[in-house]
Amino acid sequence: MDTETLPRHIAIIMDGNGRWAKNRHLPRIAGHKVGVDVVRDVVKQCMRRKVKVLTVFAFSSENWKRPPSEVTYLMGLFRSALSREVSKLHEQNVRLSVTGDRTALDRRFCEQIEAAEALTRQNTGLHFVVAFNYSGRWDIAQAVARLMKEASEQGPARYETSEIFGRIQQCLHLSDLPEPDLLIRTSGEKRISNFFLWQMAYTEFYFTDVFWPDFTAEEFDRALAFYAGRDRRYGGAQ
């Protein structure tokens, strides 16, 4: 595979941590802990392949429905991983961004995220995005809210439909990034679970039965090979 057949932006729904742990008679949190190591490996794979952007769906807005003990553990796991890994990412010229609704996070957590983003902002290698407390519907809703605020302050404007699409796109979080070319979802589930609803209009989907803690470099290469074999026409004729 050469750079022309590689996706610029890979998005991953990291699913199956709990079932992986259950199959081994371990607590669910054991799967999440191993899953962090897999994220580190996939970041390295993307760097090696010179992928431009990697986004991982770490915590959705719906994940608050999980048992409080698991939610607390996931919050702590992300914070500890952030403090442990950010300097390494910076040394490797990786830029880190976190997308999602931060209003539900405590102030010190937000400050930690902001410090990590500031440290790596000028890096020019892989752009690593973590979707945390993220929802595709929330992203679209906050974009529309921004446009409504503009209209109330500046007066309503007349737009052609194509212009409205463009304005919404501009108001989405991290709108400067290319839309995902490839979505990978592990664990055998075949849905996008409220992830990048607007951005994945023409994304290629790769589903694998492998649980996230078992996601290897070989499985990652299978996903890239699948993508390389796709004929991306964007609605045009064959």
User: What's phi and psi for 101, nearest 5 deg?
Assistant: -85, 110
Q: Which of 15, 133, 139, 181 is flagged as catalytic?
A: 15
Spatial strand order in the sheet of 9-13:
95-99, 127-134, 53-60, 9-13, 182-185, 204-207
Burial class (CB in 10 A: 0-12, 13-18, 19+), 64: exposed
Displacement of CA 100 from its chain's centroid (Å): 10
Structure token pair of residue 207: 């589903």
**Which residue among the candidates 63, 123, 194, 214 is catalytic per the annotation?**
63
Sign of CA dihedral 209, 213, 218, 221: positive
Cβ atoms of 177 and 53 within 8 Å: the answer is: yes
To the query of whether residue 133 is one of the catalytic residues in this protein, the response is no
User: Which stretches of the chain are assigned E, i.e. beta strand?
Assistant: 9-13, 53-60, 95-99, 127-134, 182-185, 204-207
Tell me whether residue 231 is one of the annotated catalytic residues: no
Which of these, 31, 62, 219, 227, lies nearest to 131 by C-alpha position? 62
Active-site positions? 15, 63
